[in-house]
Each structure stands twice: as structure tokens, then as C-alpha cells.
């Protein structure tokens, strides 16, 4: 059986490298290292090494995932994309996702409410555009419908303000052409025809 011959700290001081039979074996976080009580001259069976590596890989992935998930609310699709980009082994996905949910760091409805709030605060747009964006983020339509129905969105007010900000673009155009361009602009922002008409009339 392989024998631990050397234990060396890594640069970040929170992990150590374990050498088996004088060759690099695996890296492991300090917490797991202490819990397992690993030491030089200790023999490890192949099955033991596999379990330790899997446990160490989980903790390493979790540490990185927590840094990602605590920056702002995350959707399930965003986390899955993170797994793919970071090449996290599929066998760890379910356990990592469960850990985030336990810590209240992964909830699609919370993400949807955050997304809508951010958009309305910094990049205002209509409900259609918000719905389309949330669908693109992998949010279930039922959740989207609930969130948007409970969110006070003054679409006419938002559309009117958007037109005011871009007013200089249409000032010198003929009335009909200016109206058409305003309508197209607001439509691209996700506003329905009734809202567009009211905003332009305002």
C-alpha cells in the first residue's frame, strides 16, 4: 500500500500536498487533513486515497463556489454553468447544490426578484423584456409570473423617462418618423403597444 512520505503546505497556507512513496499524491484542505489525522509513514489503501481525494475535491470546489455564490443571488442555471466552466466532476454537483440550498444561497425566486430590482433600478425596461431575460437565465415561467405580478412596475412612467433621455435623437425628425422611431425604441425595451402609445402621447 502507498505510504505518506512527505506533507508540504501549499502557497495559500490553507491546503497541503500529500506525497505518497515520495511522489505527489494529492492536495487537500487543512480542515479535512486535520479531521482525517493524516501523518507521515501512514499507509493508505487505494480505496482510502480515492475517498480522500473525492472529499478534498469537494471541499476545494465548495470553497470556490461559496465565493461565487455570495457575491449576489444565483440561479440554478448559473451554478450549473459554473460547474461546467470550472470542470467540476459531475459526481459532486448534487452535493454542492444541496449545500448552497442549505445555506440559502441558491433559490431561483430570490434570484428573479433581485434581477428585476436591479434592472428597474439601473437599466429600466418593460415586463416583456424582464420576462425574456429571466427565461434566458433558466427561471421557471411560474416563478417569473409570480415575481412580476408582485412587483410594482410603472411601465408608462419608465417608458416616458426613457424617451425623455433619448429626446435629442428625434427632435429634428418629422413628427410621424419621430413617433415611429420612438415606438420601435420602446418595443425593443420590452414595452407593449398600449404602454408605448401612452408614453409617446405623454
Give the cell for residue 163: 424617451
Q: Which domain holds residue 80?
A: 4-102
Residues 24 and 97 in one domain: yes
Residues 28 and 70 in one domain: yes
> Which residues in the chain land under pLDDT 70?
none
Give the cell for residue 109: 425566486
Q: What is the number of domains present in the chain?
A: 3
Residues 14/29, Cβ–Cβ less than 8 Å: yes
Given 87, 102, 117, which residue is the final one in a domain? 102
Residues 80 and 114 in one domain: no
Q: Residue 116 is part of a domain; what is its CATH number?
A: 1.10.10
Residues 35 and 119 in one domain: no
pLDDT in tens, 87-116: 888 888 999 999 999 999 999 999 999 999
Residues 12 and 97 in one domain: yes
- What pLDDT was estimated at residue 29? 87
Residues 37 and 54 in one domain: yes
- What pLDDT was estimated at residue 189? 87
Residues 33/16, Cβ–Cβ less than 8 Å: yes
Residues 114 and 191 in one domain: no
Residues 122 and 192 in one domain: no
Residues 14 and 84 in one domain: yes
Given 86, 102, 118, which residue is the final one in a domain? 102
- What pLDDT was estimated at residue 52? 87
Query: Nearest Cα to 130, choosing from 142, 146, 141, 119?
Result: 119
Residues 123 and 166 in one domain: no
Can you tell me the distance from the alpha carbon of 41 to that of 145, in angstroms, rounded to the nearest whole number? 61
Q: Residue 58 is part of a domain; what is its CATH number?
A: 1.10.10.10
Residues 11 and 84 in one domain: yes
- What pLDDT was estimated at residue 100? 95
- What pLDDT was estimated at residue 1? 84
Residues 68 and 95 in one domain: yes
Residues 109/73, Cβ–Cβ less than 8 Å: no
Q: What is the model's pTM?
A: 0.69
If you compute the radius of gyration of the chain from its CA atoms, what whole number of angstroms results? 27
Amino acid at each position: 500500500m502507498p505510504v505518506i512520505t512527505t506533507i508540504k503546505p501549499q502557497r495559500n497556507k490553507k491546503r497541503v500536498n500529500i506525497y505518497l512513496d515520495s511522489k505527489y499524491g494529492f492536495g487537500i484542505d487543512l480542515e479535512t487533513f486535520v479531521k482525517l489525522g493524516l501523518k507521515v509513514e501512514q499507509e493508505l489503501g487505494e480505496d482510502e486515497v480515492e475517498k480522500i481525494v473525492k472529499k478534498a475535491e469537494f471541499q476545494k470546489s465548495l470553497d470556490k463556489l461559496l465565493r461565487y455564490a455570495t457575491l449576489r443571488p444565483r440561479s440554478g442555471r448559473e451554478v450549473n454553468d459554473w460547474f461546467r466552466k470550472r470542470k467540476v466532476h459531475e459526481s459532486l454537483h448534487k452535493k454542492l447544490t444541496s449545500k448552497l440550498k442549505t445555506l440559502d444561497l441558491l433559490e431561483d425566486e430570490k434570484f428573479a426578484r433581485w434581477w428585476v430590482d436591479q434592472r428597474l433600478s439601473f437599466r429600466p425596461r418593460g415586463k416583456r423584456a424582464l420576462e425574456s431575460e429571466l427565461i434566458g437565465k433558466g427561471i421557471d415561467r411560474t416563478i417569473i409570473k409570480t415575481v412580476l405580478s408582485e412587483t410594482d412596475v410603472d411601465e408608462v412612467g419608465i417608458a416616458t423617462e426613457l424617451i425623455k433621455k433619448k429626446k435629442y435623437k428625434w427632435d429634428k425628425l418629422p413628427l410621424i418618423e419621430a413617433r415611429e422611431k420612438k415606438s420601435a425604441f420602446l418595443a425593443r425595451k420590452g414595452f407593449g403597444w398600449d404602454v408605448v402609445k401612452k408614453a409617446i402621447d405623454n
